Copies of this chain bind each other. A is one copy, B any other.
Amino acid sequence: MFTDLADFHQWLAQRHEANEYRVTPAPLNRLDGWAADPVTGDLHHSSGRFFAVHGLDVTGSQREVGHWQQPIINQPEHGVLGILVKEFDGVPHCLLQAKMEPGNVNTLQLSPTVQATRSNYTRVHRGRAVPYLELFIARGRGRPLADALQSEQGSWFLAKRNRNVIIRIDDDIPVLDDFCWLSLDQIGHLLKVHDLVNMDTRTVLSHLPDALLPAGDRFRGTPAHPLPELLNWLTHHKTMDRTVRRAVPLAKTEGWRMTDEELRHEHDRYFRVIGVDVQAQNREVASWSQPMLAPCGEGVIAFVVRRIDGVPHVLVQARAEAGTPDGVEIAPTVQCSPGNYAHLATGLRPRYLDTVLSAPPRRILFDVVHSEEGGRFYHARNRYRAVEVPDDFRVDVPDGFHWATPGQLAQVNHYGGLLNVEVRNLLTCMGFIA
């Protein structure tokens, strides 16, 4: 435990020095253990496990563009993202880990106690066991505070879901190298630092009861729309959505070009699929190779926040993405990579993007750049921002949008599959960054 966050940063620097890591870009067509299917061009691991990269055709979307094709990561198995919580002197702390991921811009970020794909924990790679995993998958050790199957980035993953689990323990457990206990207040401060608290930690933290959160007062107050209205709006959009997703051979994905080195969009938009060779001394296996998805440009993930009768509400949208597991989920006010829209007519610019980008500093509740999951995404960064708009901002919003209190989103979040990963990440920032 750290009495001062300066000690934490010193510890993190030591963890950095104590281990050796190297991530080297490598041609996609010569990655050890990976091969393109001779017919479809789809990328697979020789074991048939881990994940694959396929092509996907999307039609009928209500989004800015109604039809497109794209590569997508297919990883149908459910992994476990778990955080242990324990009180020290009455103050709840989370056990987090300084973990290297090949896609991290800064090598080490704070991961959950456990971040394991099913391949990890069934030990496909014959590596070391995942520490603390048995506390999450064997029932009856500790008290569960949350456990929900949640989706991840719908524009990059096909129907990917991970278990988000929080277990409260009373017993003392050994703290291994690379792990540390941090209080929720400390995590709140660390969430203001760019690229430090990783995506898996942020999504799991969105399930903590609001009574424990440093900025939990933002979660309280009477909602303008009772919960059944929010669910009615969401179910309406789920049932009215006409998005059709169809697998296509990766080699035939319209608008995408495979070179020896990488797979890229013909106009250098959206993302590239690249290869990396990885050496990491303290991971389950010491070296491996893998494809990664490298986004083109930084994204924006933002809430418009407005007080309605004095109670803070966030503006959310019902959104269908390429890989959304159940068609439509609740998404933030804004979720986009602005560069991908630059070629479109002004009217197709994402709604409310200008509102959140042009807000004066005094109206910005938080503004921090966080990384997306470094195990699949290479240098994937998004600006997480919440902007409080004045009372003359229209309460009456377009049909695909709805006002909700952060408390309502937290309530809905316990059941899994209703909030997308971007809105869960913002919700964590809302609850932790005071």
User: 1/0 per position for A210-234, CB-CB distance to B under 8 A?
Assistant: 0000000000000000011101110
Known interface pairs A149-B238, A417-B417; A232-B412 also in contact (CB < 8 Å): no
Tell me the complex Cα distance, A317–B273, Å. Answer: 43
Tell me whether A295 is interfacial, beta carbon within 8 Å.
Answer: no
Chain B residues with CB below 8 A from A78, complex form? 238-239
B229 with A144: CB separation less than 8 A? yes
Q: Is the CB of B232 within 8 A of A147?
A: yes
B228 contacts A146, C-beta separation under 8 Å: yes
A149 contacts B239, C-beta separation under 8 Å? yes
List A residues 219-271 near B (Cβ within 8 Å).
Answer: 227-229, 231-233, 235-236, 238-239
A80 CB contacts on chain B under 8 angstroms: 239
Report A90 CB to chain B, min CB distance, Å: 20
**Nearest B residue to A207, CB-CB:** B228
A247 smallest CB distance to B (angstroms): 15
Q: B residues within 8 A CB of A238?
A: 78, 149
Q: Which listed residue (B163, B229, B399, B418) contacts A235, Cβ 8 A? A: B163
Contact A231 B414 (CB under 8 A): yes
Q: Are A143 and B229 in contact (CB under 8 A)?
A: yes
**Nearest chain B CB to A331 CB, angstrom units:** 17
Known contacts A139-B236, A163-B239, A239-B163; decide if A231 and B417 are in contact (CB<8 Å).
no
Q: Are A228 and B418 in contact (CB under 8 A)?
A: no
Asked if B143 and A235 make an inter-chain contact with CB atoms under 8 angstroms apart, the answer reads: no
Q: How many copies does the complex hold?
A: 2
Is B143 within 8 A of A231, CB to CB?
Answer: no
Q: How far is the CA of A232 from the CA of B138 in the complex (A)?
A: 11
Choose from B137, B139, B235, B399 the contact partner of A416 (Cβ within 8 Å).
B235
Do A165 and B232 contact each other (CB < 8 Å), given the known contacts A78-B239, A149-B239, A239-B149?
Answer: yes
- A145 at the B interface (CB under 8 A): yes
Q: Chain B residues with Cβ under 8 A from A31's Cβ?
A: none
Complex Cα spacing A149 to B399, Å: 20
| Contact residues in B for A399 (Cβ distance below 8 Å) | 139
Q: Is the CB of A415 closer than 8 A to any CB of chain B? A: yes
Please, which residues of chain B bring their CB within 8 A of the CB of A144?
228-229, 231-232
User: For the side of the interface on A, what is the size category?
Assistant: 20 to 34
In the assembled complex, how far is the CB of residue A426 from the closest CB belonging to chain B, in whole angstroms? Answer: 20
- In the complex, A383 Cα to B102 Cα: how many Å? 57
Q: Are A228 and B145 in touch, CB under 8 angstroms?
A: yes
Indicate if A148 sits at the interface (CB-CB under 8 A): yes
Within the complex, the shortest CB–CB distance from A204 to chain B, in Å, comes to 13
A148 to B163, CA, bound (A): 22
User: Is B416 a contact partner of A147 (Cβ separation < 8 A)?
Assistant: no
Q: How far is the CB of A58 from chain B (nearest CB, A)?
A: 17
Choice from B143, B146, B415 contacting A415 with Cβ under 8 Å: B415
Contacts of A147 in B (CB 8 A): 228, 231-232, 235-236
Provide the A69-84 mask, 1 if CB < 8 A to any CB of B, else 0: 0000000001010000
Chain A 396-427 interface residues, beta-carbon cutoff 8 Å to B: 399, 412, 414-418
Interface residues of A in 140-175 (CB under 8 A from B): 143-149, 163, 165
Minimum CB–CB distance for A363 against chain B, Å: 30
List chain B residues, Cβ under 8 A from A418.
415
Measured in the bound complex, the distance between the Cα atoms of B290 and A75 in whole Å is 39
Query: 1/0 per position for A116-131, CB-CB distance to B under 8 A?
Result: 0000000000000000
Whole-angstrom distance between the alpha carbons of A97 and B153 in the complex?
44
Contact sample, A vs B, 5 pairs, CB 8 Å cutoff: A139-B236, A139-B399, A144-B228, A235-B416, A412-B415
Mark A residues whose CB is within 8 Å of B.
78, 80, 137, 139, 143-149, 163, 165, 227-229, 231-233, 235-236, 238-239, 326, 399, 412, 414-418
